[in-house]
Structure 1
Amino acid sequence: MNLLQLIRSFTRTAQTGSIAAAARSLGISATAVGQNIQRLETHLGVRLLNRSTRQLALSEAGALYLAQVQHIEADLARAQALVTADDIVPSGPLRIASSRAFGRHVLAPLLPSLQQRYPQLQLELRLSDRAVQHGPETVDVSLRIGAQLEDGLVARPLARIPFLFCAAPAYLAAHGMPQEPAELQHHRGLLHRFPTDGRPLRWGLRRGDARVDAALPPSMVCDDIDALAELAAAGAGITRLAAFVADPYLRDGRLQTVFGPASAWQPEPMEVFFCVSDRRDFTARIRALFEHLQAGLPPAWQV
């Protein structure tokens, strides 16, 4: 009896909420997963899952057992990484989750050179603006802004990226250039709705030790930052963009900064964190990714 295989089928079912999802995650049939759980229950002499035609739920014994065994697979993987050549040559799967804009504009250009350096790495990039769950979604690393941080994650600062308030030159010519944060209330706001809490993200501004949240009437709200950049370039209003989105528009003149470098008020930067589930998760391949990103980011963004 392969007890680890039985435990893996049980924990993956508990994490994903269904035998079918566990089977897909493990790459085996749903029948095999179900049989493995039954064998484990027979071995333990207790029922781990309460099954019905509509739902699958942990029994009391199952919840206690899960709390003790759910880290076994990860602990074994970490132990293997410490005593094998992986510690010298990073290899194996590396699943990275990121927001769509950061993944598209920053991560995607940097990852090919990482794989060229370590061809045995098997990279997977998952882009979503929601906060992914490391365990249930088998994610090794997530890149998150402060609004996405959660208790239980180990978060290392990775980058501090400028935010820029931007609008089309024609819009500013017609509606005026704001000089103070309070003047923004008379402008059209193009706001980004983030799925973490469903509310538009706040726009922080600082002048010395003073801080304010900019108040813009939401003329338009969108969940995609690249679409907001296009709306702003078309003259729809003022939006806030990370530098990696705004820079091409600023270079070709389609957008102009509001509260630019000469202003007393400066937008608060975007802080990006490199997140893992446990400090022990910094295996060779994860360290390689962290160091590669640190080295590849513009010096002005590095922390």
Structure 2
Amino acid sequence: MDTLSGINSFVKAVESGSIASAARQLGITPAAASQNIARLEQYMGVKLLTRTTRKLSLTESGDVYYAKVSDVLHRLELARSAVDQLQGVPQGRLRIATAVTYGRHIIAPLLPAFCARYPSLSIELISTDFNVNHSNDDVDLSIRFKQQLEPHLVSRRIATIPMVICAAPSYLQRAGIPRTPEDLKEHACLLYRISFNGLLFRWTFIRDGLHFEPELRPSIISNDIDSLTQMAVAGAGIARLASFIAEPLIASGQLQALFDESSDQNDDTRVDAEPLDFHICYRDRAEVSLKMRLFIDYLLACLPHTEA
């Protein structure tokens, strides 16, 4: 019997709370994961899980068994990583979670060259603006903006992205051009709601070295930056966008930057939108595998505006 497949399915089901979730992590069907667990239970001669349509729970025997095997998979991964380090060849799967827009516009275009460099690696990119649990979701690395950081994770800043306050020329012709951030309270503002905590993303500015937040008038709120971008282009209002999104649209004339260097600001009145930091996160500094280290180094070498 393939005991390891059964243990793998069992541990993932317990940690994720469902067989379906375990199957997604393992890249198999829920039926296959259920069969793996059933074969393990048959091999052990005891029932390990009680399964209903709503709940998955450990039996007394399952609780004892899980306590003994829960770290087996982690130790096996560490053993494989040690062999990889010795051989200098990264192998296996690397699961990376990233904020949706940053993953779509920045990380995804970088992956083909990385995969070509290390063909023995299999990459899984998980795009979500919700915080992932590195253990339960079996994630090696997560890329998060500053507001998503969690104290129990090791984090390293990999990029500082300028933010651009901008709007379509059609909106500015209709509503007028705000000359200072304080003028934004008279304008339709397109705001981003952070998915994982439900808070609105704050528009912070820097003037004379001091940070401040002007009063805003929300016109449209969305938890998807790309949707807000399209609405800004359509003339719905003023948006706060990362430079990698805004700059091509400004260059094409679809958006116009506000409060930037090319405006009529002088040195005494200069104001900048506070930039956005992105960090790469992992569970334990002592357990950074070769494949993780190589990917982190690759990002640091490739990313614009990098401040390690």
TM-score scaled by length of structure 2: 0.85
User: What is the CA distance between 1:173 and its match in structure 2?
Assistant: 3.5
User: What is the CA distance between 1:85 and its match in structure 2?
Assistant: 5.7
Other-structure match for 1:98: 98
Alignment of 1:264 with 2:248, yes or no, is no
Aligned-residue Cα RMSD (Å) equals 2.7
User: What is the CA distance between 1:234 and its match in structure 2?
Assistant: 1.9
Structure 2 counterpart of 1:275, one-letter code = C
Distance 2:259 2:42 in 1: 64
Kept in 2, the 8 Å contact 1:87–1:283? The answer is no
CA, structure 1 residues 68+32, in 2 after alignment: closer, same or farther (shift >3 Å)? Answer: closer
CA, structure 1 residues 84+190, in 2 after alignment: closer, same or farther (shift >3 Å)? Answer: closer
User: What is the CA distance between 1:222 and its match in structure 2?
Assistant: 1.8
Distance 1:253 1:139 in 2: 40
**How many corresponding residue pairs?**
298
Distance 1:4 1:291 in 2: 32
SS of corresponding position for 1:133 = coil
Deviations 1:147-194 (A, max 9, x none): 222242221111111111111233224333323332211110111122
Structure 2 counterpart of 1:204, one-letter code = T
Kept in 2, the 8 Å contact 1:9–1:37? The answer is no
Other-structure match for 1:197: 197
Deviations 1:110-157 (A, max 9, x none): 111111111212122221222222233222211111222224222111
Identity of aligned residues (%): 39
Alignment of 1:302 with 2:307, yes or no, is yes
CA, structure 1 residues 71+208, in 2 after alignment: closer, same or farther (shift >3 Å)? Answer: farther
Distance 2:146 2:35 in 1: 42
The farther-off stretch of 117-126 and 82-91 is 82-91
Kept in 1, the 8 Å contact 2:167–2:257? The answer is yes
Distance 1:156 1:66 in 2: 33
Other-structure match for 1:211: 211
Kept in 2, the 8 Å contact 1:194–1:201? The answer is yes
Kept in 2, the 8 Å contact 1:86–1:284? The answer is no
1:110-129 aligned within 5 A = 110-129=110-129
Unaligned ranges ≥5, structure 1: none
Other-structure match for 1:284: 290
TM-score scaled by length of structure 1: 0.86
Structure 1 counterpart of 2:274, one-letter code = E
